[in-house]
C-alpha cells in the first residue's frame, strides 16, 4: 500500500463515511424491489423493476471499487471494476438472448450476492478477488449450458446410480485426503486449481434422491430405505473427513427430500431423531465437535485457542453496529479466514448490521424463488430437485450466518456466492442454473396450458 | 358421440351440443395425450412418472402436436365450461394437497431466516455493549483514531482523569490526584485497569452534538469522548488515603442507601501518570503487587469481623440472643484443641451482646459449636460467600470452606474468623451495608452517569436493589450488637457525641513471610446508627489489633464526612 497524502486520505474517509449510508440505501432498495416483484402487474412493470435492480448492482460495484482505489491508490481496482462491468454485461445479456424465459430476478440476486462478495473480498485481498472473478466468470459461462441440458436430456432421472456412485467416489477421495493430512485438507489440487468435491456432490446427491424416489409411484418402502442408506453414507464419509458443515447440509437436504417425496411426517421425524442421536455421539466421539460447541457456549473461556475465531467474529460484528465502520475503516483483517467462512462478519463490520440483515433477506428471496419453482413445476423429479437444492442453499446460509454470529455453533462453511472459494461459487452458480433450467421448463409448460385453455375457449 | 371421441384429435371436432361426462372428457384427453408424437404430454416424458399429477391435469394437458391448432373447432356448452371449471378447481385442490409438504418446508425455512435476522437484531441491541467492552477486544482502540478519550470525574465533577492534546496533536492522559485514585480509576497505558478499563467503551464513544460531530468527521478532527461521572468523593478518598498512611491495606466507603462507592483506597499504590516509565520497576522482582486493588482482590482472614456472620447464624437458628450466657476464662479447650481470647484476656460472665462487644473468641468458639458448620455455611453463603460479588471492577470471591466433617477444632477457629475463611474488604463493606440498610444490599454503583462533553446525559445508573441478604429483624439485631461494640466494647475509640456509630473490629492473625505471626487490623461499621449514612471497611495489614489502627482510621473518615 502506498502512503497517501493526507488530503487524499481525508477525502477517502469522508467519501467512505457518506458511502456507507449509500451502500445501506442501495441494498435496502434492492431488497424492496426483490420482494415487490410478484405484486407488480404486467410484464412491463416487472421488466422495469428488474432494470432498476441492475442499475443498483452497477452502482454498488462502482462505489465499492472506487472506494478501494481511493484507499489504496492501486489502479488495478479500476481495471478489476472494468472486468466486473464486462462480467455483468455478458451474464445479463447472455440470459436475455439465450434464455429470455429465465427468471431475471434470480439472475439479479445472483449478481448482487456475487457483487457483495467481489467488493468485500477485493477490500481484503485483491488477488483473491481476481481469482473469485475468474472462477465466477468461467462458472457462469459453463452454467449457460445447463438449461439446454435439462431441456434436451430426457433421461436425467434414469441416471440414479450414476449420481450415487459419482458422489460417493468423490467423497471417498476427500476422505482419503483428510486422513492422510489429518483432517487439514478437504480439497484436491488439480493443475493448480483446488477442487472441493463436496461442493459438487451437493448437486449429485439431490439428483440421486430425486431420481430414486420418483422411480415408482407410490414410493415403495424399499426405495426409501435405499435412499436413506446412500444419503447416510454421504453424510458419514463427510463427518469422518471432519467436514461437519457440508455433512449437515446433506443431512437436511435428505430430510427435506424424503419428506416432500413421501408426504409422511414420520420419515423426517425419525431422521431428525436419528440425526440428534448422531450429533450427541459425534459430540462425545470427536474432539473437534466438542471444541466447537465449547467455543460456542463460551468463546472467551478458550479465547486463545478454540474461541479465538468466533471471538474475533463477534468483535467485528459488534464494531460494525447498525451502519458499519465504512469500507476500509474497520479491521476485518483481524478475523481469521475473513474472506471465506467469516465473510459475513467482515461485511457486518464495514457495511453494518442493517446491510447484513438485507443480505439475509436477499438470500431468503433467492430461496423463495427456488421454492416457487418447486411448487409450480408439475414433474415430480424436477419438483424434488428444486426443493432439495433450495434446502441445501437455504440451510448453508443459515449455518454460516448463524455460526459466525454465535447463534449456533460454528460449522465452518461458506456463504454461497459471497464467500471466497472457487468450488463453492462454481457449485452455487451451477445450482442456480439448474433452477433456471427448471424455471424455463415451467414457463414453457405454463404457456402450453394457457394456449390450451384459450383453445378450449374458457 | 362415439364418433367424436374417435376424432378427438380435433381435426373435425363435433359441434353437437351434447354434453360430455367427466369420464368422457378424461378419455378425450388420454387420447390427446397418446396421440401424435406418441409421447405423453409435457412435462411427463416418461411413462409411469408423475402419473398422478398428469391424471389430475388431464383435461388441460395437451400434446405439443396440438399446439398447431389455432382455434377450437367446437364451442363448448355452458355445462361443459362449468364442468371444466369444476375440474380445474378440483385439480387445483389436488395440486395444493401434493404441494402441502413443499409449502411447509418453505415456511419452515422462512422461519429460520427470520430467526437469523431476529438474532442479529438482538445481538446489536443487547449483546453488542458487552462484546465491545470485553477486555479481549482490541478493536475498541481503533476508535482512538476518531475520538479523544473522555474524562473520568468524581461525583461533584472534579476531574480524576483527562486527556490533554498538545499543539502537535500528541495526546497524554493525566491523573490530577496521582496515586490517590490509582486503583479505582485505573490506567490506560501498558494495558488497562480500573474504570479506565471497564468504561473504555463509554470513554471512546462521542455523543457530542451531531452537527459538530459530522463537521469534525469531515474535517478529520477528533471528536471529544464522553465523560464518565463516578460516585467517588474526593474528600473521603483524600481522608481515607492519608489516614491509611504508609500501611498496606485497603479502605472502602459505601453509601448503604444507594450503593454508591464513595471511596476505595488500596495500598501500596502507584502513580498512573508515570506508569509507563515505572512499568519495569512495578512488574519486576519487587513483590509489593502494587497494581492489585486490595479492596476488591485482597483476600484476608476476616478475624473477628467474621463474628458478625457467626452471630447472625446464631440468631437465625435461635431467633433470640437472650438465652445465651458464657463464662470466659481467656482460654477454651474442646476435643484437645485450645483457643485463646486476644491477649488471653478473661472476659468473665457475658451475655451475647457483651461477648460480641468484647470480641470474645472463647464465647464465639462455643457459639460456633452450638450453631454447627452447616448452618454457619448456609448463613455465609446467603451473605455472598463463595459467590461472585456485584462489582463493576471485577475482584475476587470470598471463600468459606468449612464442612461439617472438618471437626470441632476447625469449627471453633472458623467461628471467630480464623480457619480457612478468606474475605475481601469490599465484601465486608457490602455485608455491613446490608445490615445498615434493613437487610437490603443495594447494587454497588461506581458510575453515576455518562454524559457528553456538552453535558447531555448519555446513560444513567439509578440506585437499585441487588438482593435482600437478611430480614429486617435480623438486620436490627445485628445493628444493635454492633452499636454495643462502640458504646462499650472494642470499638469504643469511635464513641463520640457528634454522631453515633456501630461496627465490629477484627484482629486477624496470619503467618508472615518471615514465619512470625502477624495481625491484620480490621474495622467494618457505619455511622448514624438510626439512619446510617456511610459504611466504612478498613484493613491495615500487619498493624495490630483492630482497635489500635483500623478504628482510628475509620474515625477520621467519619469525622471527615460529618465536617464537610
pLDDT digits (tens, 9 = 90+) for A362-409: 999 999 999 999 998 988 999 999 999 999 999 999 999 999 999 998
Same domain as B100, residue B27: yes
* Contacts with A86 (C-beta within 8 Å, 6 or more apart), sequence order: none
CB contact under 8 A, B131 and A314: yes
Residue A281 has pLDDT above 80, yes or no: yes
Q: Would you say residue B382 lies in a domain?
A: yes
- pLDDT tier at B286 (50, 70, 90 boundaries)? low
Mean pLDDT of B303-319: 95
CATH of the domain at B216: 3.90.1310.10
| B531 in any annotated domain | no
pLDDT tens digits along B396-410: 999 999 998 888 889
User: Mean pLDDT over residues B509-521, rounded?
Assistant: 89
CA distance A209 to A449: 29
Round to whole Å and give the CA distance between B4 and B9. 9
Pick from A6-20, A78-92, B365-379: least confident:
A6-20
Q: What is the C-alpha to C-alpha distance for residues B357 and B485, in angstroms, rounded to an integer?
A: 4
pLDDT of residue B93: 87
pLDDT of the residue at B513: 82
Question: How confident is residue B307, by pLDDT bands cut at 50, 70 and 90?
Answer: very high
In a domain, B486, yes or no: no
For chain A, the three-class secondary structure string (H helix, E strand, C coil) is CCCCCHHHHHHHHHHHHHHHHHHHHHHHHHHHHHHHHHHCCCHHHHHHHHHHHHHHHHHHHHHHHHHHHHHHCCCHHHHHHHHHHHHHHHHHHHHHHHCCCCCHHHHHHHHHHHHHHHHHHHHHCHHHHHHHHHHHHHHHHHHCCHHHHHHHCCCHHHCHHHHHHHHHHHHHHHHHHHHHCCCCCCCEEECCEEECHHHHHHHHHHHHHHHHHCCCCCCCHHHHHHHHHHHHHHHHHHHHCCCHHHHHHHHHHHHHHHHHHHCCCHHHHHHHHHHHHHHHHHHHHCHHHHHHHHHHHCCCCCCCCCCHHHHHHHHHHHHHCCCCCCCCCCCHHHCCCCCCCCHHHHHHHHHCHHHHHHHHHHHHHHHHHHHHHHHHCCCHHHHHHHHHHHHHHHHHHHHHHHHHCCCCCCCCCCCCCCCCCHHHHHHHHHHHHHHHHHHHHHHHHHHHHHHHHHHHCC
Q: What is the pLDDT of residues A292-315, one digit of tens each?
A: 888 888 887 777 677 888 889 999
Same domain? B6 vs B128? yes
Domain termination site, one of B423, B438, B468: B423
Between residues A357 and A286, the one the model is more confident about: A357
pLDDT of residue B528: 94
* Spacing of C-alpha B403 from chain mean position: 29
Lowest mean pLDDT among A25-34, A165-174, A280-289, B498-507: A280-289
Task: State the average pLDDT over residues B48-69.
Answer: 43
Using DSSP, state whether B74 is helix, strand or coil: coil
Three-state DSSP class for B162?
strand
Triad A44, A49, A54: Cα angle to 5°: 125
The total of structural domains in chain B comes to: 3
Percentage of chain B surpassing pLDDT 90?
A: 57
B451 forms bridges with which residues in the sheet?
Answer: B227, B457
Q: Which of B69, B85, B128 sits opposite A455 (nearest CB)?
A: B69
pLDDT tens-digit readout, A307-345: 888 889 999 999 898 999 899 888 898 888 888 899 999
Q: How confident is the model at residue B17 (pLDDT cuts 50, 70, 90)?
A: very low
Residue B404 lies in a domain: yes
Strand partners, B501: B527
B176 occurs within a structural domain:
yes
Model pLDDT, residue A416: 95
Whether residue B323 contacts residue B442, with contact meaning beta carbons closer than 8 Å, is answered with no
B67 touches chain A (CB under 8 A): yes
pLDDT digits (tens, 9 = 90+) for B263-280: 999 999 999 999 888 887
What's the pLDDT score for residue A180? Answer: 66
CATH number for the domain harbouring residue B346: 3.40.710.10
pLDDT at B423 over 90: yes
Flag if A387 and B49 touch (Cβ within 8 Å): no
Nearest 5°: the CA angle A288, A293, A299 is 105
Whether A331 and A315 have beta carbons less than 8 Å apart is answered as no
**Which range, of A207-211, A451-455, B34-38, B513-517, averages the lowest pLDDT?**
B34-38
Beta strands in B38-158 (DSSP E): 147-148, 152-153
Q: What is the dihedral sign for C-alpha B369, B370, B373, B378? A: negative
Burial classification of residue A174, based on how many CB atoms lie within 10 Å of its CB (0-12 exposed, 13-18 middle, 19 or more buried): buried
More reliable by pLDDT, B523 or B217: B523
Spatial separation of the C-alpha atoms in residues B234 and B159, rounded to whole Å = 10
Note whether B96 and B79 are same-domain residues. yes
Residues 6+ away with beta carbon under 8 Å from B53 = A378, A379, A380, B44, B95, B98
User: Long-range contacts of range A231-240, CB-CB < 8 Å, 24 or more positions apart?
Assistant: A231/A205, A233/A168, A234/A167, A234/A168, A234/A171, A234/A201, A234/A205, A237/A168, A237/A171, A237/A172, A237/A174, A237/A175, A238/A171, A238/A174, A238/A198, A239/A282, A239/A286, A240/A175, A240/A178
Q: CB distance from B131 to chain A under 8 Å?
A: yes
Cβ–Cβ below 8 Å for B105 and A260: yes
Interchain CB contact of B64 with A (< 8 Å): yes
Alpha carbon distance, N-terminus to C-terminus of chain B: 116
**What one-character DSSP code corresponds to residue B145?**
G
Q: Which whole number is the average pLDDT over B114-126?
A: 94
C-alpha cell at B178: 496521582
Judge: A319–B102 Cβ closer than 8 Å, yes or no: no
Angle at which helices B78-122 and A353-376 cross, to 10°: 150
Could you tell me if residue B474 is inside a domain?
A: no
Report pLDDT for B417: 92
Whats the size of chain A, residue-wise? 458
> Do residue B105 and residue A256 have CB atoms under 8 angstroms apart?
yes
Nearest CA in chain A to B98: A263
Write out the residue range of the structural domain in which residue B14 sits.
1-133
Q: Is B6 helix (H, G, I), strand (E, B) or coil?
A: helix
Angle of CA points B415, B420, B425, to nearest 5°: 85
- Taking the C-alpha atoms of residue B317 and residue B313, their distance in angstroms, rounded to an integer, is 6
Chain A residue whose CA is closest to B201: A319
Going from the C-alpha of B35 to that of each of A441, B8, B28, the distances in angstroms are: 22, 9, 10
Chain A nearest-CA distance from B191, in A, is: 17
Q: In terms of C-beta density within 10 A (0-12 exposed, 13-18 middle, 19 or more buried), how is residue B23 classed?
A: exposed
* Rg (chain A; Cα; Å): 22
pLDDT at B421: 94
pLDDT at residue B54, rounded to an integer: 43
Q: Determine which of A296, A318, A404, A444 to mutate to test the interface with B (most B C-beta atoms within 10 Å).
A: A318
Mean pLDDT throughout A242-247?
85
- Looking at the fold, whether B360 and B407 belong to one and the same domain comes out as yes
Given a contact cutoff of 8 angstroms between Cβ atoms, the answer to whether A353 and A321 are in contact is yes
Which of B101, B133, B213, B223 best tests the A interface by mutation, with the highest count of A CBs <10 A?
B101
Per-residue pLDDT averaged across B525-529, rounded?
Answer: 95
B346 and B309 share a domain? yes
Angle among Cα A250, A238, A113 to the nearest 5 degrees reads 50
Same domain? For B314 and B380 the reply is yes
In this model, does residue A120 exceed pLDDT 60? yes
pLDDT tier, A188 (very low <50, low <70, confident <90, very high otherwise):
low
Residue B57 has pLDDT above 70, yes or no: no
Residue A434 confidence (pLDDT) above 80 = yes
* List of residues 6+ apart from B330 with CB closer than 8 A: B340, B341, B344, B345, B346, B347, B362
A323 vs A351: CA distance, rounded Å: 6
Is B353 in contact with B321 (CB distance < 8 Å)? yes
User: Which tens digits make up the pLDDT trace of B192-201?
Assistant: 889 998 888 8
ipTM: 0.94
3-state secondary structure of B267: strand
CB neighbour burial string for B156-175, b if at least 16 within 10 angstroms, e if fewer: eeeebbbbeeeeeeeeebeb
pLDDT above 80 (res A132)? yes
> B87 with B61, same domain?
yes
Same domain, B317 and B409: yes
Residue A260 to residue B109, Cβ atoms within 8 A = no
B347 versus B37: the higher-pLDDT residue is B347
B396: left (phi over 0), alpha (psi -120 to 50) or beta: beta
Is it the case that residue A67 has pLDDT exceeding 90?
yes
Of the candidates B114, B133, B152, which is a domain's last residue? B133
Does A322 sit within 8 Å of B220, measured CB to CB? no
Which residue has cell 478477488? A129
Same domain, B190 and B82: no
Section A343-351 average pLDDT: 96
- Domain assignment present for B77: yes
Q: Of B216, B231, B246, which one is at a domain's C-terminal end?
A: B231
Query: What CA–CA distances, in Å, run from A35 to A82, A424, B301?
Result: 30, 26, 68
Residue A193 has pLDDT above 80, yes or no: no
CA distance A170 to A428: 18
Peptide bond into B137 cis (omega under 30): no
Q: Check if B123 contacts A (Cβ < 8 Å).
A: yes
Answer whether B49 sits within 8 Å of A157, measured CB to CB.
Answer: yes
Is B283 an interface residue toward A (CB < 8 Å)?
no
**A449 and B112: CB-CB below 8 Å?**
no
pLDDT at position A178: 67
Of A325 and A26, the structure prediction assigns the larger pLDDT to: A26
Q: Which residue of A has its CA nearest to B135?
A: A300
Where is average pLDDT lowest: A190-199, B119-128, B424-433?
A190-199
Q: With an 8 Å Cβ cutoff, are B49 and A381 in contact?
A: yes
The verdict on B113 and B154 lying in the same domain is no
Looking at residue A263, its pLDDT comes to: 87
B303-310 average pLDDT score:
95
At residue B287, the pLDDT reads 63
Mean pLDDT of B517-532: 94
The 3 state secondary structure assigned to B189-245 is CCCCCHHHHHCHHHHCCCCCCHHHHHHHHHHCCCEECCEEEECCCHHHHHHHHHHHC
- The pLDDT of residue B372: 93
pLDDT of B376 above 60: yes
B376 Cβ contact partners less than 8 Å away, ≥ 6 residues apart: B309, B310, B313, B368, B402, B414, B415
Nearest CA of chain B to the CA of A181: how many Å?
Answer: 32
CA distance A348 to chain B (A): 10
Q: Are residues B116 and B145 in the same domain?
A: no
What's the mean per-residue pLDDT of chain A?
89
Residue B307 sits in the same domain as residue B365: yes
Which residues have a Cβ under 8 Å from the Cβ of B235 and sit 6 or more positions away?
B560, B561, B564
Question: In the numeric block, which cell numbers belong to residue A16?
Answer: 467512505
Let me know if residue B27 belongs to a domain: yes
Amino acid at each position: 500500500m502506498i502512503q497517501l497524502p493526507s488530503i487524499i486520505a481525508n477525502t477517502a474517509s469522508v467519501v467512505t463515511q457518506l458511502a456507507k449510508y449509500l451502500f445501506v440505501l442501495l441494498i435496502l432498495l434492492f431488497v424492496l424491489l426483490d420482494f415487490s416483484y410478484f405484486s407488480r402487474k404486467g410484464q412491463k412493470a416487472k421488466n422495469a423493476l428488474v432494470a432498476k435492480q441492475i442499475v443498483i448492482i452497477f452502482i454498488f460495484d462502482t462505489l465499492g471499487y472506487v472506494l478501494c482505489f481511493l484507499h489504496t491508490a492501486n489502479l488495478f481496482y479500476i481495471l478489476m471494476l472494468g472486468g466486473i462491468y464486462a462480467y455483468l454485461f455478458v451474464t445479463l445479456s447472455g440470459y436475455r438472448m439465450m434464455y429470455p424465459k429465465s427468471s431475471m430476478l434470480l439472475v439479479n440476486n445472483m449478481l448482487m450476492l456475487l457483487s457483495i462478495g467481489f467488493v468485500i473480498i477485493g477490500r481484503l485481498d485483491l488477488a483473491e478477488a481476481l481469482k473469485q472473478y475468474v472462477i465466477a466468470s468461467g462458472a457462469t459461462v459453463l452454467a449457460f449450458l445447463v438449461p439446454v441440458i435439462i431441456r434436451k436430456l430426457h433421461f436425467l432421472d434414469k441416471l440414479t446410480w450414476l449420481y450415487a456412485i459419482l458422489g460417493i467416489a468423490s467423497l471417498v477421495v476427500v476422505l482419503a485426503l483428510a486422513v492422510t493430512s489429518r483432517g487439514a485438507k478437504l480439497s484436491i489440487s488439480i493443475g493448480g486449481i483446488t477442487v472441493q468435491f463436496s461442493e459438487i456432490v451437493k448437486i449429485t446427491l439431490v439428483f440421486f434422491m430425486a431420481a430414486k424416489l420418483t422411480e415408482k409411484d407410490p414410493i415403495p418402502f424399499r426405495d426409501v430405505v435405499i435412499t436413506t442408506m446412500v444419503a447416510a453414507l454421504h453424510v458419514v464419509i463427510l463427518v469422518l473427513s471432519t467436514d461437519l458443515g457440508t455433512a449437515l447440509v446433506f443431512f437436511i437436504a435428505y430430510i427435506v427430500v424424503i419428506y416432500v417425496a413421501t408426504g409422511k411426517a414420520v420419515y423426517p421425524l425419525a431422521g431428525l431423531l436419528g440425526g440428534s442421536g448422531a450429533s450427541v455421539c459425534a459430540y462425545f466421539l470427536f474432539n473437534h465437535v466438542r471444541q466447537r460447541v465449547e467455543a460456542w457456549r463460551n468463546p472467551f473461556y478458550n479465547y486463545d485457542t478454540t474461541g479465538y475465531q468466533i471471538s474475533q467474529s463477534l468483535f467485528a460484528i459488534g464494531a460494525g453496529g447498525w451502519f458499519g465502520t465504512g469500507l476500509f475503516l474497520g479491521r476485518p483483517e483481524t478475523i481469521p479466514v475473513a474472506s471465506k467462512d467469516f465473510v459475513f462478519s467482515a461485511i457486518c463490520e464495514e457495511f453494518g448490521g442493517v446491510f447484513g440483515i438485507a443480505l439475509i433477506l436477499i438470500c431468503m428471496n433467492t430461496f423463495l424463488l427456488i421454492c416457487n419453482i418447486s411448487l409450480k413445476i408439475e414433474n415430480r423429479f424436477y419438483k424434488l430437485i428444486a426443493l432439495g437444492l433450495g434446502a441445501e442453499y437455504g440451510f448453508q446460509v443459515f449455518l454460516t450466518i448463524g455460526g459466525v454470529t454465535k447463534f449456533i455453533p460454528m460449522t465452518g462453511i461458506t456463504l454461497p456466492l459471497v464467500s471466497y472459494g472457487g468450488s463453492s461459487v462454481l457449485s452455487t452458480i451451477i445450482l442456480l442454473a439448474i433452477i433456471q433450467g427448471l424455471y424455463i421448463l415451467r414457463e414453457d409448460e405454463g404457456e402450453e396450458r394457457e394456449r390450451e385453455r384459450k383453445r378450449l375457449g374458457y | 358421440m362415439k364418433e367424436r371421441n374417435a376424432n378427438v384429435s380435433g381435426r373435425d371436432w363435433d359441434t353437437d351440443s351434447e354434453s360430455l361426462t367427466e369420464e368422457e372428457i378424461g378419455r378425450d384427453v388420454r387420447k390427446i395425450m397418446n396421440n401424435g408424437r406418441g409421447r405423453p404430454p409435457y412435462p411427463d416424458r416418461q411413462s409411469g412418472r408423475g402419473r398422478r399429477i398428469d391424471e389430475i391435469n388431464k383435461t388441460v394437458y395437451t400434446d405439443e402436436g396440438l399446439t398447431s391448432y389455432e382455434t377450437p373447432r367446437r364451442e363448448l356448452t355452458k355445462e361443459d365450461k362449468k364442468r371444466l371449471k369444476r375440474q380445474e378447481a378440483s385439480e387445483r385442490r389436488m395440486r395444493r394437497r401434493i404441494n402441502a409438504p413443499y409449502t411447509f418446508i418453505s415456511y419452515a425455512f422462512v422461519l429460520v431466516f427470520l430467526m437469523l435476522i431476529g438474532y442479529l437484531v438482538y445481538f446489536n441491541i443487547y449483546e453488542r455493549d458487552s462484546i465491545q467492552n470485553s477486555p479481549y477486544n482490541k478493536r475498541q482502540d481503533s476508535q482512538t483514531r476518531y475520538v479523544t478519550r473522555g474524562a473520568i470525574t468524581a461525583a461533584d465533577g472534579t476531574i480524576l482523569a483527562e486527556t490533554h492534546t498538545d499543539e502537535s496533536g500528541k495526546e497524554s492522559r493525566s491523573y490530577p490526584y496521582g496515586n490517590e485514585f490509582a486503583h479505582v480509576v485505573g490506567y490506560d497505558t501498558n494495558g488497562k485497569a480500573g474504570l479506565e478499563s471497564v468504561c473504555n467503551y463509554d470513554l471512546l464513544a462521542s455523543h457530542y452534538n451531531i452537527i459538530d460531530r459530522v463537521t469534525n468527521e469531515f474535517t478529520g478532527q477528533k471528536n471529544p469522548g464522553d465523560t464518565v461521572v463516578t460516585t467517588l468523593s474526593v474528600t473521603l478518598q483524600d481522608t481515607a488515603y492519608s489516614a491509611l498512611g504508609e500501611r498496606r491495606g485497603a479502605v472502602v466507603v459505601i453509601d448503604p442507601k444507594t450503593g454508591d462507592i464513595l471511596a476505595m483506597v488500596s495500598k501500596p499504590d502507584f502513580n498512573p501518570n508515570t506508569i509507563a516509565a515505572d512499568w519495569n520497576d512495578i512488574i519486576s522482582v519487587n513483590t509489593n503487587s502494587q497494581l492489585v486493588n486490595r479492596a476488591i482482590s485482597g483476600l484476608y482472614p476476616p478475624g473477628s469481623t467474621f463474628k458478625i456472620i457467626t452471630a447472625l447464624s446464631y440468631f437465625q437458628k435461635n431467633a433470640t440472643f437472650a438465652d445465651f450466657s458464657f463464662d470466659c476464662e481467656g482460654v477454651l479447650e474442646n476435643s484437645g484443641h485450645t483457643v485463646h481470647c486476644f491477649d488471653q484476656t478473661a472476659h468473665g460472665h457475658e451475655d451475647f451482646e457483651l461477648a460480641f462487644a468484647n470480641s470474645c473468641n472463647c464465647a464465639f468458639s462455643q457459639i460456633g459449636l452450638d450453631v454447627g458448620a452447616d448452618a454457619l455455611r448456609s448463613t455465609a453463603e446467603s451473605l455472598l460467600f463463595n459467590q461472585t460479588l456485584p462489582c463493576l471492577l471485577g475482584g475476587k470471591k470470598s471463600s468459606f470452606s468449612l464442612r461439617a466433617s472438618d471437626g470441632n477444632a476447625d469449627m471453633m477457629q472458623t467461628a471467630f474468623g480464623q480457619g480457612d475463611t478468606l474475605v475481601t474488604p469490599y465484601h465486608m463493606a457490602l455485608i455491613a451495608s446490608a445490615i445498615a440498610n434493613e437487610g437490603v444490599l443495594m447494587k454497588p454503583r461506581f458510575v453515576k452517569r455518562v454524559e457528553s462533553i456538552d453535558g447531555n446525559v448519555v446513560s444513567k445508573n439509578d440506585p437499585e436493589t441487588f438482593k435482600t441478604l437478611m430480614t429486617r429483624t435480623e438486620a436490627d439485631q445485628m445493628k444493635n450488637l454492633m452499636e454495643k461494640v462502640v458504646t462499650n466494647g472494642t470499638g469504643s475509640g469511635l464513641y463520640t457525641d457528634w454522631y453515633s456509630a456501630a461496627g465490629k473490629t477484627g484482629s486477624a492473625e496470619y503467618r508472615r513471610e518471615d514465619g512470625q505471626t502477624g495481625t491484620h487490623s480490621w474495622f467494618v461499621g457505619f455511622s448514624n446508627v438510626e439512619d446510617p449514612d456511610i459504611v466504612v471497611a478498613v484493613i491495615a495489614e500487619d498493624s495490630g489489633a483492630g482497635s489500635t489502627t483500623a478504628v482510628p482510621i475509620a474515625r477520621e473518615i467519619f469525622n471527615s464526612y460529618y465536617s464537610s
